[in-house]
Amino acid sequence: MEGKTETHQFKTEVKQLMNIIINSLYSHREIFLRELISNASDAIDKLRFRAQTESELFGDDTELKIRITADKKKRTLEITDNGIGMTYDEVVENIGTIAKSGTAGFLESLGTTGKQGAVTPELIGQFGVGFYSAFIVADKVTLITRAAGHERATKWESTGDGSYTIEQVNKKTRGTTILLKLKKAEKDEDDFTEEWTIRGIVKKHSDFVAYPIVMDVERTEPVLDAEGKPEKDKTQKVIREETLNSMKAIWTKDKKEVTEEEHSEFYRHISHDWNPPLTHLHLKLEGTTEYNALLYIPSKTPFDLFTHEAKHGIQLYSKRVFIMENCKELMPQYLAFIKGVVDAPDLNLNVSREILQQDALVRNIKKNLVKKILDLLAGMEQEKYETFYAEFGHIFKAGISQDFDNKDKIAALLRYKTTRSDGKYSSLTDYISRMKPDQKDIYYITGDSLTTLLNSPHLEQLKEKDIEVLLMTDPIDEWVIRDLQEFEKKTFKSAEKGDLELDKVDDKKKEQYTVLFDFIKTSLDEKVKEVKPSTHLKDSVACLSGDAYDMSAYMEKILKASGQDVPKTKRVLELNMDHPLIAKIKALYEKDKDAPALKDYTDLLLDMAVISEGGKLDNPSRFGKVIGDLMAGAIKS
Ligand code: ADP
């Protein structure tokens, strides 16, 4: 074979594959550069790996890099690496036949999907396209390669029309050059010899590749005189070698080697957030689920978290080559505020979102990441955790409903302010440790502000009995309670629903009030479903409560605010039999069942109950008028 040019036919599968790649990826043609750079970077990786035991492989070519050379006039583009290179046999084996299991699998799946026309970029995304993607943009591809430690080089060439030629040639240096004779560009931005186009593609797809991707660029610079000062009006064209990628793939470094400054800079780069992150998580996993991850918890909620433009979540890489941003498949929604990079070497570069969802590897990584994040949160020092919770708690809590497997872990991370915590957060475990010896349940109340809740009449009896109540002010808490139901075998009990059963109601006294309470219910036009003696109240006259399974007032408010049609749930009007007002109304009623003031009084009882829980009156102006009249009558001048 020495010196002879041999012509070979591509295997039929290769021809088929090339056609499919060219046709189906035409609208994503810039990826050819990513694929070739990724091959070059792999080849340098391989060289470095082997050089660990065979250091002579480096020779005097020790500066590992990938070079891009564009020639506008000739319309050529060259990608050169000084990596491991290939022998003649390796070229025959790797390029031109299908040895790779991925590609074979791809062709097999074509058998089931039928014609070429059915091939979408999504489908092709399951498999590597690699080297053949060069034919999307090139009429002719020439590969010249010399394997490390070998004297001779091999030249492979094809116009992608079914055959290729191969011959032995001379090449001075180790590594591979791919020379593309570019097709005619239809649009300017398709001109892959254009410096800015190349820069853009490298920045977008290959910024973190570990080796410098360099390009010679022509610059016009002033001519300097003997003293190094620019000469007036004299310029010259000079060629400068520029590195196009940042290479800062700090996630692949050893944890201990990454400085705080690098973290801040990298975080800013991926998140576009100028606040420093609250904390980070740097993971390197080996074994069946292999990946590197560098994740950050921001210190502030990004303003665009759940909008369409939200972009800067998890970026997915494979061996430092960018695959996609905002990879929702790797992070559940309740952790959507986490930012960072996941690099999974076994993932295919063309993998699509559709495929990610079904990918077992991706699912495992996600499960793993969630576990690590929950562990990180559980191990955080209190103050830091509370900063996190104040910022992201309302999003994080949704995990109770979204992530059944981790429900207990998330529940242990919940924090609430309580009637006795003095404005500080308390965990559910701490709450339980403070429960009264005979207290069975965890008491909570929901509403839209701490002040309303702290002053809620529903809490009067509980306060009197010195029982602590969790104050829940996030809309999501309603769902948290619904899905959690209990914690450490203690049931959640609403302070505004059902009977509190703290004291036995005095049945005798209750009987005395039955007639009055029935009258009030009728007089209120059945706006409430029941009027009964309160188990909640101590100082206030009236409050509204629900049955244990009714919707809470706050839930009703949330649903209404979100524009939903809420079926009107009738509430229970609870009246305080120990309050002098109720006793006076009773006396009045017994004296004159038809007293005109009775209607006003019963209406006011309901209005007061509504107002005290922060609700809205049906007829506020009437309320104002009646109160005005009453006050006028009450003031003795
Ligand atoms: P993949 O990279 O997915 O394996 P390719 O078609 O891109 O598929 O490449 C096939 C094989 O050719 C590679 O696995 C590698 O062994 C070899 N190869 C490709 N490019 C280079 C290169 N620049 N240097 C050395 N070997 C290469």
For the cut 70, the answer to whether the pLDDT of residue 118 exceeds it is no
- What value does the mean pLDDT take over residues 21-30? 79
The residue type found at 634 is A
Is the pLDDT at 563 greater than 90? The verdict is: no
pLDDT number for residue 264: 83
CB of 419 closer than 6 angstroms to any ligand 1 atom: no
pLDDT at site 128: 53
Half-sphere exposure of 144 (CA within 13 A, CB side): 15
Is the CB–ligand 1 distance for residue 279 below 6 Å? no
Q: What is the DSSP letter of 600?
A: H
* Residue 338 reports pLDDT greater than 80: yes
The set of residues, in sequence order, having a beta carbon less than 8 Å from that of 118 and lying 6+ positions away, is: none
| Arithmetic mean of pLDDT, 330-356 | 88
More confidently predicted of 3 and 601 = 601
The number of the ligand 1 atom at minimal distance from the alpha carbon of 81 is 23
Q: What is the DSSP letter of 497?
A: B
Nearest-CA residue for atom 13 of ligand 1? 94
Under the banding of pLDDT at 50, 70 and 90, the label for residue 241 is: very high
Pairing verdict, β 6-9 and 163-169: antiparallel
Q: Indicate whether residue 100 lines ligand 1 (CB < 6 A).
A: yes
> What does each C-alpha distance from 333 to 5, 40, 305, 397, 479 come to in angstroms?
58, 37, 10, 11, 15
Of all protein residues, whose CA lies closest to atom 12 belonging to ligand 1? Answer: 94
Asked if the model's pLDDT at residue 16 lies above 50, the reply is yes
| pLDDT average, residue stretch 589-603 | 91
Q: What is the arithmetic mean of pLDDT over 269-289?
A: 86
Atom 10, ligand 1: residue with shortest CA distance: 94
Q: What is the DSSP string of 47-110?
A: HHHHHTT-GGGGTT-----EEEEEETTTTEEEEEE-S----HHHHHHHSSS---HHHHHHHHHH
Q: Is the CB of 462 within 6 Å of ligand 1?
A: no
**More confidently predicted of 143 and 288:** 143
Q: In the prediction, which pLDDT does 321 show?
A: 82
Q: What is the pLDDT of residue 114?
A: 46
CA-nearest residue, atom 20 of ligand 1: 39
Residue 39 Cβ < 6 Å to ligand 1 = yes
Q: What ligand 1 atom has the least distance to the C-alpha of 131?
A: 7
pLDDT of residue 127: 54
The closest-lying atom of ligand 1 relative to the alpha carbon of residue 84 is 25
> φ and ψ at 254, to 5 degrees?
-70, 140
Q: Is 40 in the pocket of ligand 1 (CB under 6 A)?
A: yes
Q: What is the pLDDT of residue 561?
A: 77
Say what the pLDDT of residue 101 is: 46
Whether pLDDT at 366 is above 90: yes
User: Rounded to 5 degrees, what angle do the CA atoms 415, 418, 421 make?
Assistant: 95
Statement: residue 637 has pLDDT above 80: no
pLDDT digits (tens, 9 = 90+) for 514-549: 999 999 999 998 789 899 998 888 889 999 888 777
**222: which 2 tokens?**
């002033």
What are the tokens at 203? 């920045």
What is the per-residue pLDDT for 310? Answer: 53
Question: CA-based Rg of the chain, rounded to a whole angstrom?
Answer: 37
Q: Who has greater pLDDT, 106 or 436? A: 436
Region 598-619 average pLDDT:
89
Q: Which residue has the tokens 């302070």?
A: 495
Candidate of 25, 131, 348 to mutate for ligand 1, largest count of ligand atoms within 8 Å of Cβ: 131
b/e per residue 176-215 (b: at least 16 CB within 10 A): bbbbbbbbeeeeeeebbbebebbbebbeebbbbbbbbbbb
What contacts 121, CB < 8 A, 6 or more positions away?
Answer: 24, 25, 27, 28, 350, 352
Whether 281 shows a pLDDT value over 60: the answer reads yes
For residue range 55-78, list pLDDT tens digits in order. 899 999 999 999 999 999 999 999
When pLDDT is averaged across residues 376-393 and rounded to a whole number, the result is 96
pLDDT at 13 over 90: no
Range scoring the smallest mean pLDDT among 175-184, 307-316, 487-496: 307-316
> What is the SS3 assignment for 214?
strand
**C-alpha of residue 354 to centroid of ligand 1, in Å:** 26
Average model confidence (pLDDT) for the chain? 87
**Nearest-CA residue for atom 7 of ligand 1:** 130
Tell me the CA–centroid distance for residue 39 and ligand 1, in Å.
5
* Residue whose CA is at the smallest distance from ligand 1 atom 19: 39
Confidence of residue 10 (pLDDT cuts 50, 70, 90): confident
Which residues have C-beta within 8 Å of that of residue 471, sequence separation ≥ 6?
A: 416, 417, 418, 419, 444, 445, 447, 450, 453, 454
Locate the ligand 1 atom nearest the alpha carbon of residue 130 and give its number: 7
Percent of the chain's residues with pLDDT above 90: 52
**Whether the CB of 94 sits within 6 Å of ligand 1:** yes
Give φ, ψ of 255 to 5 degrees.
Answer: -45, -50
> What are 143-155's pLDDT values in tens digits?
999 999 999 999 9
Instruction: Tell me how far CA of residue 582 lies from CA of 299, 462, 542, 602, 613, in angstroms.
Output: 53, 21, 9, 10, 20
Q: Which protein residue's CA is at the shortest distance from atom 14 of ligand 1?
A: 94
- CB of 86 within 6 A of ligand 1: the answer is yes
Higher pLDDT, residue 187 or 92: 92
Q: Which of 103, 199, 93 is nearest to 147 (CA)?
A: 93
Write down the pLDDT at residue 108: 64
Whether residue 188 has pLDDT greater than 70: no
Asked which of 17-21, 334-338, 384-388 is least confident by mean pLDDT, the reply is 17-21
- What spacing in Å lies between the alpha carbon of 94 and ligand 1's midpoint? 7
Binned at pLDDT 50, 70 and 90, residue 370 comes out as very high
Residue with CA closest to ligand 1 atom 8: 130
Residue pair 350/121 in contact by the 8 Å Cβ criterion: yes
Q: Higher pLDDT residue, 196 or 3?
A: 196
Letter for the amino acid at 26?
Y
For range 392-403, the mean pLDDT: 95
Q: Is the Cβ atom of 130 under 6 angstroms away from ligand 1?
A: yes
Of ligand 1's listed atoms, the one at least distance from the Cα of 39 is 20
Mean pLDDT, range 589-608, rounded to an integer: 91
Protein residue whose Cα sits closest to atom 23 of ligand 1: 40
Ligand 1 site, residue 96, Cβ cutoff 6 A: no
Q: Which region among 212-221, 267-276, 342-351, 597-606 has the lowest average model confidence (pLDDT)?
A: 267-276
pLDDT in tens, 78-101: 999 999 999 999 998 888 765 454
Is residue 134 within 6 Å of ligand 1 at its C-beta? no
- 42, 90, 179: which to mutate for ligand 1, most atoms within 8 A of CB? 42
DSSP 194: S
The CA 11 to ligand 1 mean position distance, Å, reads 17
Beta strands in 447-576 (DSSP E): 469-472, 486-487, 490-494, 528-533, 542-545, 571-575
pLDDT at residue 99, rounded to an integer: 45
* Both structure tokens of 381: 């020092």
CA of 211 relative to ligand 1 center, distance in Å: 17
297 in ligand 1 pocket by Cβ < 6 Å?
Answer: no
Whole-number Å distance, alpha carbon 327 to ligand 1 midpoint, is 27
